[in-house]
Structure 1
Amino acid sequence: MRDGFYPAIGTPLDEQGNVIVSSLKLHVEDQLTADPAALLVMGSMGNQPTVKNSEYAKVAQIAVDAAKGDCPVFVGVMDNSIERVLDRINSLKDLKIDGVVATTSFYFGMNQSEVQRFFEQIAASSKFPVYMYDLPGVTKTKIEVSTATQLMQLDNIVGIKTGDLPTARELHRTQQQNGTNFDVLFSGLDVFDVAYGYGLTKQLDGMFACTTPINKRLYTSLAAGDQKMASQCLDDILLLRNTFVSVGVFNGFTYAMNLLGFEGGFGPDYNIKLDSAAQDKVKQCMLQLKLI
């Protein structure tokens, strides 16, 4: 996979939890204008754990069709057992996707032997390349470096997404030393500019879903070695992220996406719409950043 930014795109749903086709298509097309390295469909920002089973493969299909082969497309397959993950993968079998992304089980905790077995079995049965997703704040289980080092030797495990900088650096060094076909997708948004200098040049985050023009400036600057401009671009993304945190992440994200012209709800169906004060806070931030 090439250097650059990997947006975890949103999933626009109507009040019945059905995907809004026109909105998702427009969202993907907007992302493509900034030349992303790939798109992650139904990751955390894409709300995968709450998308209805009946809509799951449909969401993936719409995104693949909208991308038109212009960049790779990954799909989240997170679930709580090997067989449930494989059911998700099987539902995607007819799609032209470039990989699937799985966390550890997020209901029950796992020890590292179980983590290794979990990914070994998924990789052995998946027709698509498998990317591990290290998300211990949600899943309660970290994919330790020693476990990931064993798993990266398998042909069908081709990468890991992690926001842990020490983990990412160590796995990146190991990959460089061994020359394995394995990508480290770093997702520690707060230190993207610094991490790029460490060689962690493949970076994935959900905030990219609503900051398209800033994304392009950020990664053009990083590639050119313009640290000052890159840091300013990252600060702008962090300002919007922190604004979302202050009003509720998915609540703020939904309102921001609606302001950008993307119809639908982009969070769990139990989210409550922002009040007028919170809406204004998000809107003023986006105006300041010239996103609207």
Structure 2
Amino acid sequence: MFTGSIVALITPMNYQGNVCRKSLKKLIDYHVYSGTSAIVSVGTTGESATLSHSEHSDVILMTLDLADGRIPIIAGTGANATAEGVLLTKRLTNTGVIGCLTVTPYYNRPTQEGLYQHFKIIAESTDLPQIIYNVPSRTGCDILPKTIARLSKIKNIIGIKEATGDLSRISQIRDLVNKDFILISGDDITALDSMQLGSTGIISVTANIAAREMVTLCILAQQGKFFEARRLNQRLMLLHQTLFCETNPIPVKWAAKYLGLIIEDTLRLPMTPLTKKGQNKMIQAIIKAGLYVKKEY
């Protein structure tokens, strides 16, 4: 459940900016069909920052309902206020989610001790497995390996999504934690290298539109078939890169609509639609990756 290709799922919306249940169902069916290991609902790619508190929980519960036990659901429960993180985590206890992905507090830039206390208090508020999410490029906050090692001693903090893109972090963390502590890549571009260094898989943006390809990539890496994995990854590399040609999830939402996976690529302000230049880049990346319009799922 915490290995292989895990998708950081987009949150589809209609013209009015409301969550589109029909498109969400289609996305979930697509990932079940493709063999995706699990879904992260309402993470960064799921536009957690522009959903209201009630919507945040509602989308996770809707995802659980539509998944209907066919694929595990990990809840995005990050917040920049510890009390808010506790509240959101408690709301999801006994709902069926298999764990929580909790991003480092954004904007307020806590110290390492503040980070330790933040995650400790959230973890102690629940029995749900907790995965820390480190993405300093988005949060302005970097949780360091020594702090991760301290947190790994808390029984239900089971792993980290490491999205710095710094491969040296994998060995640094691995040297400080027990062997059962899970390291998951959060960066599609370096994910294969990360898996070769010991990560168990990837929480992926690319998997939103190339689910089967990312599943295959992870299986090849798990089997130690890195020559074949690198050949596939090279075909996907332009896609990995171009999905960040503008701020995530702008490009991936546009691509999902282009490929027929969602009805609309609506975003909420301050996120704006993909530019024409970005669209042209995405089309070239989609062609190179060998993707095609998806059938109904």
TM-score by length of 1: 0.89
Equivalence for 1:186 = 185
Measure how far apart 1:247 and its partner are. Answer: 5.1
SS at match of 2:243: helix
8 Å CA contact 1:17–1:269 kept in 2: the answer is no
In structure 2, what is the equivalent of residue 133 of structure 1?
Answer: 133
The superposition leaves residues 237-290 of structure 1 with CA deviations (integer Å, 9 ceiling, x where unpaired) of 321132333355433222111022212336443333345554344234323322
- The one-letter amino acid of 2:160's match is I
Contact 1:9 1:42 in 2 (8 A): yes
Give the letter aligned to residue 168 of structure 2. P
Deviations 1:113-165 (A, max 9, x none): 11111111111112422111111222222111111111111112111111242
User: How far off its partner does 1:26 sit?
Assistant: 1.0
Inter-CA distance 67–168: structure 2 relative to 1 (3 Å threshold): farther
Aligned length: 289
In structure 2, the residue matched to 1:41 is: 41
Q: Which amino acid aligns with 2:238?
A: L
Secondary structure, in 3 states, of the residue corresponding to 1:204? strand
Other-structure match for 2:9: 9
Q: Which moved more, 1:272-281 or 1:201-210?
A: 272-281
Correspondence 1:1-292 to 2 at 5 A: 1=1, 3-163=3-163, 164-175=166-177, 178-180=178-180, 182-246=181-245, 248-261=247-260, 262-265=262-265, 267-276=267-276, 278-292=278-292
Is the 1:11–1:24 Cα contact (8 Å) retained in structure 2?
yes
Give yes or no for contact 1:46–1:266 (8 Å, CA) kept in 2: no
C-alpha contact (below 8 Å) 1:15/1:269 kept by paired residues: no
SS, match of residue 246 in structure 1 = coil
Contact 1:11 1:266 in 2 (8 A): no
Question: 1:95 Cα shift?
Answer: 1.6
Q: CA deviation at 1:229?
A: 2.5
| TM-score normalised to structure 2 length | 0.88
Contact 1:25 1:62 in 2 (8 A): no
Q: Distance in 2 between matches of 1:111 and 1:259?
A: 42
Identical counterparts, % of pairs:
23
Runs of at least 5 residues in structure 2 that lack an aligned partner in the other structure = 293-297
Cα distance change on mapping 1:216 and 1:119 into 2, 3 Å: closer
TM-superposition CA deviations, 1:41-66 (whole Å, max 9, x none)? 11111111112333212211121123
* 1:151–1:251 Cα change, 3 Å: closer
Name stretches of at least 5 consecutive residues in structure 1 with no aligned partner. Answer: none
Asked whether the equivalents of residues 192 and 234 of structure 1 are also in contact (C-alpha less than 8 Å), the reply is no
Measured on the aligned residues, the alpha-carbon RMSD in Å equals 2.2
Q: 8 Å contact 1:186–1:204 — kept in the other structure?
A: yes
d(CA) in 2 for partners of 1:98, 1:222: 24
Higher helix share: 1
Q: Distance in 2 between matches of 1:9 and 1:285?
A: 20
SS of 2:132 mapped into structure 1: strand
Report Cα offsets for 1:9-37 as digits up to 9, x if no partner: 11101243321001111111111222222
Q: What is the distance in 2 between the residues matched to 1:116 and 1:274?
A: 37
CA distance in 1, matches of 2:179, 2:212: 34
Q: Give distance in 1, aligned partners of 2:203 and 2:244.
A: 19
Distance in 2 separating the partners of 1:39 and 1:272: 25
Give, in whole Å, the separation in 2 of the partners of 1:98 and 1:227.
30
Distance in 2 of aligned mates of 1:183 and 1:229: 25
8 Å contact 1:5–1:203 — kept in the other structure?
Answer: yes
Q: CA deviation at 1:90?
A: 2.9
User: Offset at 1:89?
Assistant: 1.8
Q: What's the CA shift for 1:168?
A: 2.4
Q: Deviations over 1:154-212 (max 9, x none)?
A: 1121111112422222323444xx355x3111223222222222222322222211111
